[in-house]
Amino acid sequence: MSEDVQSLAKRRGFIWQSAEIYGSMAGFYDYGAMGARLKRNWENVWLKYFMGLNDNYHLIDSTNILPEAALKASGHVDSFTDPLVECTKCGHAFRADQLIEEATSTAAEELSLEEIDAKVSEIGLACPKCKGPFGKAMFFNMMFPIEVGTKGTDRAYLRPETAQGAYLNFKRHFEIMRRKLPLGLAIIGKAYRNEIAPRQGVYRMREFIQAELQIFMDPETFSDELDLSEMDGKEILVQLVDMRGKKDVQSMPCRYLIEQYKLPDFYVYHMLKVQEFYLDIIKIPKNKFRFYEKSEKERAFYNRVHFDIEVDLSTLGGFRELAGLHYRGDYDLTKHQIGSKEKMEVSLDGRKLIPHVLELSFGVDRNVWALLDIHLVDERTGVLKLPPQLAPYTFAVFPLMKKDELIPLAKEIHNLLKDDYDVCYDQSGSIGKRYARMDEIGTPFCITVDFDGLTDDTVTLRDTDTTEQKRVKVDELERIARGLASGKLKFKDLN
Ligand code: ATP
């Protein structure tokens, strides 16, 4: 199916490989007109939801190029690596852990270089391209180095994650925002990783977009700032380390995760918030969503708790990581305090501490892809059913035919709505073809002006979801549009 959805995504103006006319480079993608709208809407919905969690959470923006010293302090220069094996015959390089995982169907992320070499010879792994033997495994640093200045003397890198921008700006924001914790700094922007094996479309890119929220907090008091009662009676869809191989997903009460599994209450609270984002706003079906716990060996050593957020994607063959929820302790600010010699310690009610970080880290491209995968309801007819806040266009306005009598009212309605919503106006081609085009790009509602409407001041409103049509009064359109776009009014409830 992946091939088909990829070509659909291309034909309909969503996403395709960049520099196509020069043959493209692996791992780089461009968004077309529909894709850019969909991506921007996802980012806006993300921002609105997560910035809404606390008045002291803010969106900032930071540079894509970072000095070597900052990335040395963060640990990226020395250890932002993936294991690589190279064919001694044809020279092709592969990500060693992925090759082993594919050959054995068991996780290999945690293997050391020695363990990889042993495994390669144990299972007789050979080069998939030419069947040649592999040399010894080695670590490959995934950052893109940059030379800055005419002599290239200032060593720098393209940022491998947006998170560092928030850490580097923490101290200044803490002062500006009147020295309060929790303080949340969100960044939406590009990140760059020279992935060894970019593949599976936008799932593994070399230039991609992250939406990350770093919550700087005092672990002793953070829970007091949250309404923990929101977790009462609520369950989280999880696959815990000790459930691997038994059950894909289990629904567990929040309290159980806190009491039995000893997860911090603030962590479980944020699991619930992330789950609500995916199930209630992005409309991922419950049976396609899970938190996947990373074992101590699999997660970075500084992550005290780490669950990936995974969605079952038929285009990618099963549950795939779209985001991560990481409790990073005081690792990041401590490292930058050592590296920069700037004090990151803050003083709160007589207590001195280096704030801890809870990181909510989302890959925007993977999430946009998931929207196409999940909401492409019918692959045969190609109907895409996107939630109104996410769709490239929320409304389309058509005159039934390209007739002088119908066009003025259709244009008037377009003008009425276009300042507040994404609205497409189209008057060319048969009405059936225009509806089909809107079905293909996920426009939830179409408004059509016909001859009857000219006499009784009505238009036809069509719901993509059901293809049902209703006549509504033109002077009620603004109110109805507001309700439908926000999701507060359902099409079925319209008289
Ligand atoms: P993976 O294990 O898939 O390499 P990761 O655990 O290294 O990902 P993080 O460093 O936690 O990823 O980055 C946060 C998010 O950024 C991921 O959940 C993912 O959605 C996105 N992301 C990471 N690497 C890529 C990539 N190469 N292409 C597209 N998105 C990515």
Query: Does residue 410 contact residue 385 with C-beta atoms inside 8 Å?
Result: no
Residue range 441-459: average pLDDT?
95
Q: How is residue 59 written in tokens?
A: 């969106």
End position of a domain, from candidates 141, 169, 185: 141
Beta carbon of 361 within 6 Å of any ligand 1 atom: yes
Dihedral sign computed on CA atoms, order 408, 412, 418, 424: negative
Burial class of residue 347 (count of CB atoms within 10 Å of its CB; 0-12, 13-18, 19+) = exposed
- State the Cα–Cα distance between residues 65 and 316, nearest whole angstrom: 32
| Residue partners of 179: CB distance under 8 A and separation at least 6 | 346, 348
- State the Cα–Cα distance between residues 131 and 89, nearest whole angstrom: 9
Q: Would the pLDDT of 86 be above 80?
A: yes
258/302 same-domain check: yes
Render pLDDT for 416-438 as a digit per residue (tens, 0 to 9). 999 999 999 999 999 999 999 99
- Average pLDDT over the chain, rounded to whole? 94
437 lies in some domain? yes
Alpha carbons within 13 angstroms on the beta-carbon side of residue 130 total 11
76 lies in some domain? no
358/475 same-domain check: no
Which atom of ligand 1 is found nearest the CA of 193? 27
411 lies in some domain? yes
263/180 same-domain check: yes
54/95 same-domain check: no
Q: Would the pLDDT of 368 be above 70?
A: yes
Q: 174-191 burial, b if ≥16 CB within 10 A, otherwise e?
A: beeeeeebbbbbbbbbeb
158/252 same-domain check: yes
23 lies in some domain? yes
74 lies in some domain? no
Beta carbon of 201 within 6 Å of any ligand 1 atom: no
184/308 same-domain check: yes
Residue nearest ligand 1's atom 1 by CA:
321
- 28-to-18, 24, 86, 190, 207 alpha-carbon distances in Å: 6, 8, 23, 12, 6
225/251 same-domain check: yes
385 lies in some domain? no
Confidence of residue 1 (pLDDT cuts 50, 70, 90): very low
Confidence (pLDDT) at 7:
86
189/234 same-domain check: yes
Beta carbon of 324 within 6 Å of any ligand 1 atom: yes
CATH assignment of the domain containing 132: 3.30.40.230
Closest CA to 319 of 331, 309, 334: 309
CATH assignment of the domain containing 349: 3.30.930.10
Which atom of ligand 1 is found nearest the CA of 308? 18
Q: What are phi and psi of 469, to 5 degrees?
A: -125, 145
Confidence (pLDDT) at 248:
82
217/324 same-domain check: yes
What type of residue is 376? Answer: L
Collapse the DSSP code of 320 into the 3-class scheme (helix H, G, I; strand E, B; otherwise coil) and give the result: strand
Q: Is 353 left (phi over 0), alpha (psi -120 to 50) or beta?
A: beta
Q: How is residue 16 written in tokens?
A: 């395709």
- State the Cα–Cα distance between residues 323 and 367, nearest whole angstrom: 8
Q: How is residue 382 written in tokens?
A: 């190609």
CATH assignment of the domain containing 430: 3.40.50.800
Beta carbon of 321 within 6 Å of any ligand 1 atom: yes
SS3 labels along 403-453: CCCCHHHHHHHHHHHHCCCCEEECCCCCHHHHHHHHHHHCCCEEEEECHHH
User: 414 C-alpha vs ligand 1 centroid, how far in Å?
Assistant: 40
User: 424 C-alpha vs ligand 1 centroid, how far in Å?
Assistant: 34
178 lies in some domain? yes
What type of residue is 280? Answer: D
Render pLDDT for 262-289 as a digit per residue (tens, 0 to 9). 999 999 999 999 999 999 999 999 999 9
Percent of the chain with pLDDT over 70: 99
- 421-to-9, 389, 485 alpha-carbon distances in Å: 23, 9, 8
Domain span including residue 429 = 393-493
Residue range 322-349: average pLDDT?
97
End position of a domain, from candidates 377, 401, 433: 377
Render pLDDT for 222-275 as a digit per residue (tens, 0 to 9). 999 999 999 999 999 999 998 888 888 999 999 999 999 999 999 999 999 999
User: 235 C-alpha vs ligand 1 centroid, how far in Å?
Assistant: 26
361/399 same-domain check: no
136/157 same-domain check: no
366 lies in some domain? yes
Query: What DSSP letter does each residue of 323-352 carry, written as one string?
Result: EEEEEEETHHHHHHHHHH-----EEETTEE
Counting the structural domains of the chain, the total is 3
End position of a domain, from candidates 315, 344, 377: 377
User: 173 C-alpha vs ligand 1 centroid, how far in Å?
Assistant: 27
Q: Would the pLDDT of 321 be above 90?
A: yes
Q: What are phi and psi of 67, to 5 degrees?
A: -65, 150
32/130 same-domain check: no
